């Protein structure tokens, strides 16, 4: 038997079904009949019983049933495989000397001390938190970042939490951010349902997650909505707690591509005076926009009321349409970190299944803002 019932979860959407494979923490969309067959494979039925069941319940011929069973076994073999764990350090120096770049970041009453071996390592983290910098002070937690044996090392409160090769910088950045929220909120990594590549905006009562591929105007939209009085809960790294499915505040600034700076100076006159950062590996130049002072009104966690997939298209009319949950799922999953904890998989599937999903195409900023205001007011 390739898989057991407790090694998977199945959730039906409108036209397709989502199957979660515990071993690989993998989510896949399949036809409902395939999901039903996987469910019965998990119950231990042999090949003959499975084929008989397919013929009777799916109204397939014997040949079709055999073909479906073969394809389903192949899918299970590909996805029911444990992913390798990101390596952790076994022997790392207890102490590290001569940090060249030390910063203190204050988030409310919580202070993080971040020590980097070099300015180049600090460049991987510091720009988006620079607006939180304060003078040397007492701190609640300490992060250390350095290179040892050609590995990038992250220590939190003198404990190594991960090591990465030079080509695994994004994994390091993700872990840094994850440990920042675990320390900030006093919740273990296993308590977070997922982290989403999105911008989360709030009206003080609810939040909406804005998603889209790089270059589709997601962060520019976030900046425009902030200028209209909405609060920024998080940009690019949106944490959601498993127990409540609420979106939590993450204190990074919004990254604004150089091409969008001119359009935003009417709302943020000093934006073009902020430092420009050139990320060579991503081939982009960005400025960082810190949330305004009134942001403090939005620091509490919020219920998410919708997903909006954003696409800025020059000279296009505004369109705002509800999309199928299957289409949204295919866009959401590739860029999301979802908890590998079995206890968190079902809350995620239930949360997603009831979430309204929309596609927003726009070129007129004013019309876009009006539409989002109506969304928050349930006035569409």
Convert the pLDDT of each residue in 365-377 to its tens digit. Answer: 999 999 999 999 9
Q: 154 is written with which tokens?
A: 């992250």
CA separation for the pair 75, 159 (Å, rounded): 39
Share of the chain above pLDDT 90, in %: 73
pLDDT digits (tens, 9 = 90+) for 215-259: 778 889 999 999 998 999 999 999 999 999 999 999 999 999 888
Per-residue pLDDT averaged across 337-362, rounded? Answer: 95
Q: What is the largest CA-CA distance in the chain?
A: 74
Contact 222, 209 (CB under 8 A): no
Backbone angles phi, psi at 150, to 5 degrees: 65, 20
User: Does the pLDDT value for residue 86 go beyond 90?
Assistant: no
> Which of helix, strand or coil describes residue 122?
helix
Would the pLDDT of 93 be above 70?
Answer: no
Bridge partners (DSSP) of residue 279 are: 284
SS3 28: strand
Q: What is the mean pLDDT of residues 63-86?
A: 87
For residue 254, CA distances in Å to 177, 201, 277, 288 come to: 15, 12, 13, 5
User: For residue 227, what is the enclosing H or E element?
Assistant: helix 218-227
For 116-130, 259-273, 288-302, which range has the lowest pLDDT when averaged over its residues? 288-302
More confident of the two residues 83 and 45: 45
User: 1 pLDDT exceeds 70?
Assistant: no
**What is the band of 2 on the pLDDT scale with cuts at 50, 70, 90?**
confident
- For residue 74, the SS3 value is helix
Phi, psi for 332 (deg, rounded to 5): -75, -45
Burial of 248 (C-beta count, 10 Å sphere; 0-12/13-18/19+):
buried
Q: Which residues contact 259 (CB under 8 A, 6 or more apart)?
A: none
pLDDT over 70 (residue 88):
no
Residues 288-301: pLDDT tens digits?
Answer: 998 776 555 556 78
- For residue 314, what pLDDT is reported? 86
Tell me how far apart the alpha carbons of residues 18 and 243 are, in angstroms, rounded to a whole number. 21
Please give the backbone phi and psi of residue 32, each rounded to the nearest 5 degrees, phi first. Answer: -55, -35
pLDDT of 85 above 80: no
351-359 mean pLDDT = 96
Q: Is pLDDT at 115 greater than 70 in this prediction?
A: yes
Residue bearing tokens 């998410």:
304
Q: State mean pLDDT over 274-294.
A: 80
CA distance 359 to 81: 34
- Residue 304 near residue 208 (C-beta atoms within 8 A): yes
Sign (positive or negative) of CA dihedral 89, 91, 94, 99 = negative
Q: Please determine, for residue 87, whether its predicted confidence score (pLDDT) is greater than 60.
A: no
Q: What confidence tens digit (pLDDT) does each residue in 167-204 have?
A: 899 999 999 999 999 999 999 999 999 999 999 999 98
| Stated pTM of the model | 0.92
Retrieve residue 318's tokens: 């505004």
Tokens found for residue 161:
């939490």
| CA distance readout (Å), 284 to 189, 198, 216 | 31, 18, 14
- Per-residue pLDDT at 263 exceeds 90: no
Cα–Cα distance for residue pair 78/75, rounded to 1 Å: 5
pLDDT of residue 84: 64
Angle between helices 47-57 and 62-79 (to 10 degrees): 120
The order of strands in the sheet holding 17-21 is: 8-12, 17-21, 26-30
- What whole-number distance in Å separates Cα of residue 179 and Cα of residue 188? 9
Would you place residue 212 in the very low, low, confident or very high pLDDT band (cuts 50, 70, 90)?
A: confident
């Amino acid at each position: 038997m390739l898989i057991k019932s407790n090694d998977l979860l199945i959730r039906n959407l409108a036209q397709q079904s989502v199957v979660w494979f515990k071993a690989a923490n993998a989510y896949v969309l399949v036809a409902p009949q395939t999901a039903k067959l996987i469910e019965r494979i998990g119950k231990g039925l042999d090949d003959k019983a499975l084929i008989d069941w397919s013929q009777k319940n799916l109204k397939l011929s014997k040949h079709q049933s055999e073909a479906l069973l073969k394809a389903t076994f192949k899918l299970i073999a590909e996805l029911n495989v444990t992913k390798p764990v990101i390596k952790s350090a076994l022997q790392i120096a207890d102490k590290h000397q001569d940090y060249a770049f030390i910063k203190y970041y204050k988030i409310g009453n919580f202070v993080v001390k971040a020590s980097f071996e070099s300015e180049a390592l600090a460049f991987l983290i510091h720009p988006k938190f620079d607006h939180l910098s304060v003078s040397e002070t007492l701190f609640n937690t300490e992060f250390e970042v350095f290179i040892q044996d050609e590995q990038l090392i992250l220590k939190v409160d003198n404990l190594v939490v991960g090591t990465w090769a030079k080509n695994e910088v994004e994994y390091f950045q993700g872990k840094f951010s994850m440990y920042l929220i675990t320390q900030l909120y006093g919740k273990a990594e296993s308590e977070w349902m997922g982290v989403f590549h999105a911008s989360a905006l709030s009206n003080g009562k609810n939040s909406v997650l804005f998603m889209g591929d790089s270059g589709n105007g997601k962060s520019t939209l976030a900046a425009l909505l902030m200028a209209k009085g909405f609060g920024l809960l998080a940009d690019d790294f949106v944490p959601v707690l498993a127990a409540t499915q609420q979106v939590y505040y993450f204190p990074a600034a919004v990254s604004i591509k150089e091409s969008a700076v001119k359009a935003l100076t009417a709302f943020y006159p000093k934006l073009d005076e902020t430092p420009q950062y050139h990320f060579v590996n991503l081939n982009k130049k960005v400025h960082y926009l810190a949330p305004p002072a009134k942001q403090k009104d939005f620091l509490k966690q919020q219920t998410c009321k919708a997903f909006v997939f954003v696409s800025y298209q020059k000279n296009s009319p505004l369109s705002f349409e509800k999309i199928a949950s299957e289409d949204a799922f295919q866009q959401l999953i590739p860029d999301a970190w979802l908890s590998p904890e079995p206890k968190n998989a079902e809350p995620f599937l239930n949360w997603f299944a009831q979430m309204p999903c929309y596609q927003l195409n726009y070129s007129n900023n004013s019309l876009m803002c009006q539409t989002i205001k109506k969304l928050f007011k349930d006035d569409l």
